[in-house]
Chain A
Amino acid sequence: MINIWWIIGGVLFALLNTAAGLIWVERRMLALWQDRYGPNRAGPFGLLVVLADTIKLFFKEDWIPPFADKVVFVFAPGVVMLSVLMSFVVMPFAPGIVVADLNIGLLFFLAMSSLGVYSVVLGGWASNNKYALLGAMRGASQMISYEVFMGLALMGVVVLSGSFNLAEIVEAQRKVWFIIPQFIGFLIFLVAGVAETHRLPFDIPEAESELVAGFHSEYSGMKFGMFFIGEYLGVTLISGMLVTLYFGGWLGPAFLPPVLWFVIKTFAFIMLFILFRASMPRPRYDQLMEYGWKVLFPLSILNLMVTAAIKLWLNS
């Protein structure tokens, strides 16, 4: 048993570095897919652009608008970091490498992701700016609606594995990964996950071509940096959850250690997120809501019912 403090420190170190490194990865990959170079001047392969960005964010004037609600304005960027980092508490990276092996792990993840909405809502409201308010309203309705069928889609996995514990869910996939029996659930969770992290194509709360920068229009300096890094952490979280729930987590052929399998699979999904950004147009707000409630919601209920029925039929 590895000391718990080492696990916590290691997870934090790995996550924060991944999130910062994703700034570079995303820009390079976007450039690759758009047939250009991307940042390639500072350091080897342009890697030092992360450092340059960070220094720039730290030295920018940290301006709080005089018309803003100061306490809430400062508090909002912290919420996104806190809720996403807390979600990683239950994620099993390898057998034994998990911060807290809760028997309600999946529910804990859902609870934390539902608290993440507050960063968008409070940030937008406290800015006291019309664009920010519009972004916050869109963000709140988008995240609340997509949370509903995100939870419902996950219940298919729970039915199959018979547990909310994420390590047990991974162990239940020894024979076959849940991507095969739960393909519809996987698709719904993927779409809901993109909407939950408000990444493109579902970046409607930010929508820079309509709303300046949406809910974080008024943020500058490191407070903006927190939203920025929080978004990358969210991408990592959803990728990690997709791997844990549908792609067998740390399971894989034995020539690589389990942690490495987890990391490789997670990175594949992060790449998918970036590819989404490079290739998809943004839907209109009402299209997003209609698609969610009229297509994904009935589909996720149907998926759950069919899964449960088949499970009961096989058991009897």
Chain B
Amino acid sequence: MIGTAFYIAALIAVLSTVMVITRYNIMHALLYLVVSLLAVAVVLYLYGAPFMATLEVIVYAGAIMVLLIFFVMMLNLGKESAAQEKLWLKPRIWIFPSLLCIILLGELVFLVLQNRQPVSGVQVVNPKEVGIALFGPYILAVELTGMLLMAGIVGAYHLGRQKEKTLHRFLENNQS
């Protein structure tokens, strides 16, 4: 049961990721990336990490991808950019790297099949255990991440700071 569901979700993830790479229209590529993230969330849920699965949806599919789509939407990329992409993605360019990747994939599959052990019972990790682990042994990592995010926020504030706010152009002379 879990095995079948896993293979379906994994197949969707792989297929949609391939589609991400091969689409000429960047918006379609991003949508396939969303599908891929959702498929990964399903895999996480199946193997006993429901908390991580929902976070994957909330943070990656629901926030970061929306922001990416938001920016792409404002760039107004039309048919020209798709044509440009088509020009760049010639077989001469992609065939050699993908051949190398296929060799690596073959090696990986071979290695995985070498020591094949069936998964012995899925252990479900509930949100409370995740919280206890994060604020127990991994507290240092959490704090460091917090500092990193703080630096990002301060940087964003600095970049986005406005000089003087005038609500209307007629008021500009009065203020300065």
A residues with CB within 8 A of B: 69, 71-72, 102-104, 107-108, 110-111, 114-115, 117-118, 121-122, 124-125, 133, 136-137, 140-141, 144, 147, 151, 164
| Chain A nearest Cβ from B10, distance in angstroms | 20
Q: Contact: A137 with B70, CB < 8 Å?
A: yes
| B61 proximity list for chain A (CB < 8 A) | 111, 114-115
Q: Contact: B27 with A69, CB < 8 Å?
A: yes
Q: Contact: B57 with A115, CB < 8 Å?
A: yes
Contact with A along B75-105 (1 / 0, CB 8 A): 0000000000000000000000000000000
A126 to B113, CA, bound (A): 45
Task: Specify the chain A residue showing the minimal Cβ separation from B55.
Answer: A107
Q: Say whether B73 faces chain A, with CB atoms less than 8 Å apart.
A: yes
Q: Say whether B46 faces chain A, with CB atoms less than 8 Å apart.
A: no
| B127 proximity list for chain A (CB < 8 A) | 103-104, 107, 164
Q: Contact: B27 with A72, CB < 8 Å?
A: yes
A118 to B67, CA, bound (A): 11
Q: Contact: B66 with A137, CB < 8 Å?
A: no
| Chain B nearest Cβ from A42, distance in angstroms | 41
Q: Say whether B54 faces chain A, with CB atoms less than 8 Å apart.
A: yes
Q: Size of chain B's interface in residues, with CB distance under 8 A?
A: 22
| A147 proximity list for chain B (CB < 8 A) | 62-63
| B50 proximity list for chain A (CB < 8 A) | 102-104
11 additional A-B pairs beyond A104-B50, A144-B63, beta carbons within 8 Å, are: A103-B126, A103-B127, A104-B51, A104-B127, A107-B54, A111-B57, A114-B61, A122-B31, A125-B73, A137-B70, A164-B127
Q: Contact: B58 with A72, CB < 8 Å?
A: no
- The one of B27, B51, B57 that contacts A125, using a Cβ cutoff of 8 Å: B27
Q: Say whether B148 faces chain A, with CB atoms less than 8 Å apart.
A: no
Q: Say whether B171 faces chain A, with CB atoms less than 8 Å apart.
A: no
Q: Contact: B66 with A110, CB < 8 Å?
A: no
B residues with CB within 8 A of A: 25, 27-28, 31, 34, 50-51, 54-55, 57-58, 61-63, 66-67, 69-70, 73-74, 126-127
| B28 proximity list for chain A (CB < 8 A) | 71-72
A250 to B85, CA, bound (A): 56
| Chain A nearest Cβ from B5, distance in angstroms | 15
| Chain B nearest Cβ from A177, distance in angstroms | 24
Q: Contact: B69 with A121, CB < 8 Å?
A: yes
| A121 proximity list for chain B (CB < 8 A) | 66, 69-70, 73
A140 to B73, CA, bound (A): 11
- A-B pair count, CB < 8 Å, reads 69
Q: Contact: A114 with B58, CB < 8 Å?
A: yes
| Chain B nearest Cβ from A151, distance in angstroms | 8
| Chain B nearest Cβ from A146, distance in angstroms | 12
A102 to B31, CA, bound (A): 27
| Chain B nearest Cβ from A227, distance in angstroms | 18
* Contact A114 to B70, CB < 8 A, known contacts A72-B27, A104-B50: no
| B126 proximity list for chain A (CB < 8 A) | 103
A147 to B25, CA, bound (A): 29
| Chain A nearest Cβ from B136, distance in angstroms | 16
**Can you name 7 A-B residue pairings with CB atoms under 8 Å?**
A69-B25, A72-B31, A104-B50, A104-B127, A115-B62, A118-B34, A118-B69
* Contact A136 to B58, CB < 8 A, known contacts A103-B126, A103-B127: no
Task: Specify the chain A residue showing the minimal Cβ separation from B73.
Answer: A125
7 smallest CB-CB distances across A and B, nearest first, come from A114-B62, A111-B57, A107-B54, A104-B50, A111-B54, A111-B58, A140-B70
Task: Specify the chain B residue showing the minimal Cβ separation from A141.
Answer: B70
A114 to B74, CA, bound (A): 20
Q: Contact: A114 with B27, CB < 8 Å?
A: no
| B27 proximity list for chain A (CB < 8 A) | 69, 72, 125
Q: Contact: B31 with A117, CB < 8 Å?
A: no
| B74 proximity list for chain A (CB < 8 A) | 137
A120 to B126, CA, bound (A): 33
Q: Contact: B66 with A140, CB < 8 Å?
A: yes
A111 to B126, CA, bound (A): 17
| A110 proximity list for chain B (CB < 8 A) | 54, 58
| Chain A nearest Cβ from B62, distance in angstroms | 3
A103 to B128, CA, bound (A): 10
Task: Specify the chain B residue showing the minimal Cβ separation from A124.
Answer: B73
A118 to B50, CA, bound (A): 23
Task: Specify the chain B residue showing the minimal Cβ separation from A107.
Answer: B54
| Chain B nearest Cβ from A113, distance in angstroms | 8
| A140 proximity list for chain B (CB < 8 A) | 66, 69-70, 73
Task: Specify the chain B residue showing the minimal Cβ separation from A108.
Answer: B54
